[in-house]
Amino acid sequence: MRHIPKTLCLVTMTLILLIVLQGATQYFEFEPLKGVYISAEKPHFTFDDFVSGKWQRRMEGYVKDHQGFREPAIRRYNQYLWSLYHRSTNPNSVVVGKDNYLFEPWFVDEYYTGCYHHFYPDSLGIPDHAKGQVFLNRMSRLAKLQAILEEQGVHLFLAILPGKERIYPQYLPDRGAKARHDRLRGHHRAYDYYRNSHYDFRCVDICHCFDSLNGHTPYLLFTKTGTHWSNIASTYAFDTIMRYMQTFGPPIRPVVIGNPYYAPTRDPDADLDGLLNKMKPIATECNQYVDISLGDPAPERNPSLVVIGDSFFWNILSNYSIHDLFSHFRYWYYFSSIYYDPAYETVADIDLVDELLCSDYVMLSYCTVQLYNCGNGFINRALLELCYDPDEIQSVRDSLAADTTSRLSFDQRIDLHLEQYFPALAEPFPTKRSSRITHKDTSVTSDLPNNLE
């Protein structure tokens, strides 16, 4: 008994020493934690920072992010919370619903109140008609952009994708009587505006398709532990989208979808479970999957495709060999990062006019939540660069920069007052073109496609 305190002291000191050594050497390698983490950098020591306490605070953050055995310690703690309390350690990223269904928090917000405030934080107190004007402006510009691109032989369309809150609302966490009352008040969602738009732009509504399929398929449209549509549902949906594309554009090689089969859950069907960073995944039943092969006949030339959209398109890319279907494919993720293009990394680097004019199809692909910021600035920028020369755009930019009374950025002011700063875009069908565009017959305005129901 006398040796127990000494033994405990020795064990404690040994554990502390191992943690320090692991933090310094990273001798053992562990699987990185899932999610987006910005690791603190080691602070540079200066006497002034030491006296003010800045160095100590920065060093504390650095040590916290680089301590030994951090990853397994966090996973064990998260597993403890889940196993005993069914709780997420980060409810800002993952919300636990009924029957272990997982949701991202903004999809829960979309169901109860809509997500307008997520994209426009200063919108509190703004009346609904003013909020609706944001969407009306964007849809009007989308219709004009589609018509301008159409005269150049480029086919633009919008694909509206369902969010998990729309398909499985019965598994959402209950937010109480007030939240249920707020939902009954009939808050307008972005989807409602786009679905019922009177503006003339092409739109394929996959939400409507999923609504009719819900409860009538042997597979899940959304998995319990994923935030995006399931692998198999997205596979069938993109086949539908490609058939829709060929009603107004060049042919695409047909695909043959095989028979469904059951298999353990694969990525990205369990992406939210991964964000919980536990020791063990949540037990789920096997999901259905399908394999794809190319069909015949192959077109003489595979068309090219640009996709501007959110992360839902990753599920499509996980199952389709996209380069076998499209000769030139680029994915402008949130109109920011560029994937599948070795020449460029961000859209800031590209010549947008050239990129668009060498494309056959341009697809805006947004789910119900991300539809609030449809295009992520693409619509405005494309309209400007197709209709105005760079020096004309720069002249407006310079005049706005000289106005220091506004706290809004150039892009924010353009989004609010595009037609005021660039009057040619206020026309029902803008006829002004950048000098780089070979002007074609604008009579296409009388033959623009109607919205598909």
The dihedral through the CA atoms of 410, 411, 417, 422 has a sign that is: positive
Q: Are residues 77 and 214 in the same domain?
A: no
In a domain, 242, yes or no: yes
Domain count within the chain: 2
Amino acid (one-letter) located at 93: S
- Please count the residues of the chain: 453
In a domain, 104, yes or no: no
Q: Are residues 124 and 40 in the same domain?
A: no
Last residue of a domain, one of 384, 417, 434: 384
In a domain, 102, yes or no: no
Q: Are residues 166 and 241 in the same domain?
A: yes
* Chain segment 114-134, per-residue pLDDT in tens: 888 878 766 555 666 677 888
pLDDT at 39: 67
pTM of the model: 0.84
Task: Give the number of other Cβ atoms within 10 Å of residue 389's Cβ.
Answer: 15
Token pair, residue 174, equals 């209950």
In a domain, 192, yes or no: yes
| Spatial distance between the Cα atoms of 167 and 163, rounded to a whole number of angstroms | 7
Q: Are residues 209 and 318 in the same domain?
A: yes
| Spatial distance between the Cα atoms of 195 and 179, rounded to a whole number of angstroms | 24
Last residue of a domain, one of 336, 358, 384: 384
Query: What's the whole-number mean pLDDT along residues 69-88?
Result: 80
Contacts of 239 by beta carbon, 8 Å cutoff, 6+ apart? 255, 257
Q: pLDDT tier at 453 (50, 70, 90 boundaries)?
A: very low
Q: Is 437 exposed, middle or buried (0-12, 13-18, 19+ CB in 10 A)?
A: middle
Quick one: what percent of the chain has pLDDT higher than 70? 88
In a domain, 450, yes or no: no
Q: Are residues 64 and 15 in the same domain?
A: yes
Q: pLDDT tier at 321 (50, 70, 90 boundaries)?
A: very high
Collapsing DSSP to helix, strand or coil, 159 comes out as strand
| Spatial distance between the Cα atoms of 345 and 337, rounded to a whole number of angstroms | 6
DSSP 107: H
Full residue range of the structural domain in which residue 70 is found: 4-83
Inter-residue contact 115 to 163 (CB < 8 Å): no
* Chain segment 422-443, per-residue pLDDT in tens: 999 999 999 999 998 864 444 4
Q: Are residues 202 and 333 in the same domain?
A: yes
